[in-house]
Amino acid sequence: MAFIAFIFGTVVGSFVNVLIYRLPKGISVVAPPSHCPACGHRLEPMDLVPLLSYLWLGHKCRYCCAPVSWRYFGVEALTGAVFALVYYRFGATVDAGLLCVLFACLIAAFFTDVDQYIIPDSLNAAGLIIGFARAVAGPDAFSTRWLSEPGVQPVTVLGALAGAAVLPGLLYLMILLGNVMFRRQIAEQESQWANEGILEEGERLDAMGMGDVKLAAVMGANLGIAGGLVALLTGVFIGAVFGLALKAMKRLEGHAIPFGPALIIGFSVSVFVGGDVIRWYLNLLAGG
Ligand SMILES: [Zn+2]
């Protein structure tokens, strides 16, 4: 069964590739049908088999021989692996199905943010709707297996509302704090980028973008306040470590770091082991 979830995930992953390519450009995601970005040739079913097409066509377009990025293969494999993991962890439940759709959106957001520093509003909106759909469906709609297990529980509608309201506020406060703490660096970057024409006249740089704040609402709606906090803190920690590592390697000059991917990794950690973390922390508080 986990294998079927994997195969299904690779098919969805091939659509996730379409989202990554088309959403930031504002192209419809359903029409026109897929074509090679290099030669424009319409892709036949044979070119669209997840994972396998990439391998048997030798990573290039069948019509013009333009190389095809390994990323297409990677996104399909990753989506398949995540679907299998969700099935393995939560079983074949309504909630697991909704989680899979959510992860497909988040994988798309991960790569649009890496590529273009954009998380399309449509992806955040979908994530928010899924969060409330999961809350409305409620814990009773799922197998009881995971109620006794360490993942974060599906939250109540009230919990989803509270999470969606509180988490973006917290992240926004962190951004304000970051803007104060890194005032000097941000000012330097702003003047450098203004000189290079990367920033418009008078345009300001934030430590993080508003897309990240909306993403925090998605995390809150899906995890509630406690699970959302685990996701947020894990994400900020990963983002900070990654940022410092890049700085140490002097790879940061002239590059902003997209923060969305760190938040998405934090979200994944919370979904799969957040319950463990919360229980460990509560035990710590109780002195146990
Ligand atoms: Zn081509």
Distance 219 CA to ligand 1 centre (A): 38
Task: Please give the distance, rounded to the nearest whole angstrom, from the Cα atom of residue 36 to the centre of ligand 1.
Answer: 5
For the chain, the distance separating the N- and C-terminal CA atoms, rounded to the nearest angstrom, is 39
- Tell whether 179 and 201 lie within a shared domain: yes
- How much is the pLDDT for 246? 76
Tell me, yes or no, whether 67 and 107 share the same domain. no
Which long-range CB contacts under 8 A does 98-104 form with residues at least 24 apart? Answer: 98/130, 98/133, 98/134, 98/137, 99/134, 99/271, 100/5, 100/9, 100/12, 101/126, 101/130, 102/126, 102/127, 102/130, 102/131, 102/222, 103/79, 103/268, 104/12, 104/13, 104/15, 104/16, 104/79
Each residue's pLDDT tens digit, 181-206: 777 777 777 777 777 776 666 666 65
Query: Which residue shows structure tokens 């359903």?
Result: 30
Say whether both 78 and 102 belong to one domain.
no
Here the tokens at position 5 are 């979830």
81 and 125 inside one domain: no
Distance 182 CA to ligand 1 centre (A): 45
pLDDT single digits (tens) 146-162: 444 545 556 788 889 99
Over range 256-260, report the average pLDDT: 77
**Protein residues with C-beta less than 5 angstroms from the ion ligand 1:** 36, 38-39, 61, 63-64, 66
How far does residue 24's CA lie from ligand 1's centre (Å)?
A: 21
Contacts of 288 (CB under 8 A, 6+ apart): none
Q: Are 164 and 86 contained in the same domain?
A: no
Domain, as residue range, for 73: 1-90
Query: Which pLDDT value is given to residue 205?
Result: 62
Lowest pLDDT segment from 129-133, 170-174, 218-222, 271-275: 271-275
Tell me how far the alpha carbon of residue 25 is from its chain's centroid. Answer: 18
Single out the residue in 43, 62, 90 at which a domain terminates.
Answer: 90
Distance (Å) from CA 44 to ligand 1 centroid: 12
**Same domain flag for 57 and 174:** no
Task: Tell me how far the alpha carbon of residue 66 lies from the centroid of ligand 1, in angstroms.
Answer: 6
Q: How far is the CA of 68 from the centre of ligand 1 (A)?
A: 9
Whether 141 and 198 map to the same domain: the answer is yes
One domain for residues 184 and 223: yes
Is the Cβ–Cβ distance between 8 and 96 less than 8 Å? no
Query: Nearest Cα to 266, choosing from 226, 239, 243?
Result: 239
Q: Which of 8-17, 210-219, 225-234, 248-257 has the lowest mean pLDDT?
A: 248-257
Question: Alpha helices, DSSP H only, in 91-207?
Answer: 94-116, 121-137, 157-181, 183-195
Q: How far apart are CA 273 and CA 282, in angstroms?
A: 15
| Range 269-284 average pLDDT | 83
**What is the 41 CA–ligand 1 centroid distance (Å)?**
6
Whole-number Å distance, alpha carbon 53 to ligand 1 midpoint, is: 14
pLDDT, tens digit, for every residue of 217-230?
Answer: 999 999 988 889 99
Distance of CA 45 from the midpoint of ligand 1 (Å): 15
CA–centroid distance, 43 to ligand 1, in Å, is 9
Is residue 140 located within the same domain as residue 54? no
